[in-house]
Amino acid sequence: MSTPPTESDPREALNAVREEIGKAVVGQDPAISGLLVALLCRGHVLIEGVPGVAKTLLVRALAASLDMRSTRVQFTPDLMPSDITGSIIYHAAAERFSFREGPVFTNLLIADEINRTPPKTQAALLEAMEERQVTADGQSRMLPDPFVVIATQNPVEQEGTYPLPEAQLDRFLLKLTMGLPSRVDETGLVARHMAGFDPHDLAAAGVRVVASAADVAAAREAVRGVSVGEEIVGYGVDLCRATRTVPAVQLGVSPRGATALLHAARAWAWLVGRDYVTPDDVKAIARPALSHRLGLRPEAEMDGTTAEGVLDHVLATVAVPR
């Protein structure tokens, strides 16, 4: 493994990560930015998109550019909770029990097709995502820092899938939607494959380690220095409160969602080079930070209402601070 640069500027290190991901993934800049925001906020990400838009490749490229441990788990219907968190093993020779760590003990957990596993196994991640720990046999074991879950799911295939419950969706800082690329991007992507690009061999594609855990920690510390004015806090809260009064909404954004929105907006502002948050920063991150936290009424969904449409309405009607 190549060695990341030392004593680099945190923002330069994160921009270098963006460039490395771009060597493997074409036309998905918003999703890349969302992953970097989540990394800065110690938040988890749910990536949704139809098959073939490079969801898993995106996350693998992120992991390949960071000097951190990463683990990929393919979620399947027969996956058990202990397959994720770990299990208690009995050693007959020593006549004792010991805990064998599961794949959750890592920095980046890639939960591929998370909606293909039953709710019991999905729920095994709840404690890990919220408390950054795993409790087994009455003992809590801390997970490494940073610990970020990046899950993918396919929104169009319903056979053999288990939708994530609202409580688990609320644990994700962002929900990123990866759409189909433009014709220009798709042409470049296909041309790259024709030239020999192998998505299974990121090293051959030139993706290398450019940032370390220390760089990420320094970036997080820098993000804490970004100021969030009272009027911006009020604006974020007003947006979330407004979702609770929309007739089509059964479950509006919670206070946890308002906090997540402002944390994400602060990281977004830092990434673009500012030390203060503007209303535009809040607007830029509102859809990925809030859309998965809205529960629509069944009759509204039948009428074609979407969470994104509700948020567009809220963003257009809530007064923006001057």
Query: What pLDDT, on a 0 to 100 scale, did the predictor assign at position 159?
Result: 66
Given the DSSP bridges, would you call strands 44-48 and 148-153 parallel, antiparallel or unpaired? parallel
- Residue 186 belongs to a domain: yes
Mean pLDDT across 288-297: 94
Q: What is the CATH number of the domain that holds 101?
A: 3.40.50.300
Given the DSSP bridges, would you call strands 96-101 and 86-91 parallel, antiparallel or unpaired? antiparallel
205 shares a domain with 277: no
Closest-CA residue to 155 (of 142, 143, 164, 146): 164
Residue 141 burial (10 A CB sphere; 0-12, 13-18, 19+): middle
183 shares a domain with 210: yes
- Residue 2 belongs to a domain: no
229 shares a domain with 215: no
Q: What is the CATH number of the domain that holds 311?
A: 1.10.8.80
pLDDT, tens digit, 9 for 90 and up, residues 171-223: 999 999 998 889 999 998 899 889 988 888 898 889 999 999 899 999 999 99
201 shares a domain with 250: no
Q: Would you state the structure tokens that stand for residue 16, as one six-digit string?
A: 């270098």
Q: Is 195 left (phi over 0), alpha (psi -120 to 50) or beta?
A: alpha
- Residue 83 belongs to a domain: yes
- Residue 141 belongs to a domain: yes
Asked whether the bond before 10 is cis by omega within 30 degrees of 0, the reply is: no
Amino acid making up residue 41: C
pTM of the model as a whole: 0.90
175 shares a domain with 254: no
Q: With a cut of 60, say whether residue 245 has pLDDT above it.
A: yes
Query: What pLDDT, on a 0 to 100 scale, did the predictor assign at position 92?
Result: 81
> By the 8 A CB rule, do 264 and 41 touch?
yes
Domain that holds residue 48: 10-219
Residue where a domain stops, chosen among 150, 184, 219: 219
157 shares a domain with 99: yes
245 shares a domain with 105: no
- Residue 43 belongs to a domain: yes
**In angstroms, rounded to a whole number, what is the distance separating the alpha carbons of residues 104 and 232?**
36
- Residue 3 belongs to a domain: no
140 shares a domain with 112: yes
Burial call 258-274: b when 16+ CB within 10 Å, e when fewer: bebbbbbbbbbbbbeee
Query: What pLDDT, on a 0 to 100 scale, did the predictor assign at position 163?
Result: 86
3-state secondary structure of 200: coil
Residue where a domain stops, chosen among 219, 252, 272: 219
**In angstroms, rounded to a whole number, what is the distance separating the alpha carbons of residues 112 and 78?**
14
Q: With a cut of 60, say whether residue 5 has pLDDT above it.
A: no
3-state secondary structure 91-111: ECCCCEEEEEECCCCCCEEEE
Burial call 188-208: b when 16+ CB within 10 Å, e when fewer: ebeeeeeeebeeeebeebebb
155 shares a domain with 26: yes
Query: What's the gap between Cα 170 and its chain centre?
Result: 12
What torsion do the CA atoms of 317, 319, 320, 322 make, to the nearest 10 degrees?
150
Residue whose structure tokens are 């693998």: 60
234 shares a domain with 202: no
Q: With a cut of 80, say whether residue 158 has pLDDT above it.
A: no
Query: What is the number of domains present in the chain?
Result: 2
- Residue 34 belongs to a domain: yes
pLDDT, tens digit, 9 for 90 and up, residues 38-73: 999 999 999 998 888 889 899 999 999 999 999 999
Cα-based angle 258, 296, 44 (whole degrees, multiple of 5): 45
188 shares a domain with 174: yes
Query: What pLDDT, on a 0 to 100 scale, did the predictor assign at position 8?
Result: 65
- Residue 187 belongs to a domain: yes
Closest-CA residue to 73 (of 35, 39, 105): 105
18 shares a domain with 126: yes
Query: What pLDDT, on a 0 to 100 scale, did the predictor assign at position 97?
Result: 84
Residue where a domain stops, chosen among 219, 236, 269: 219
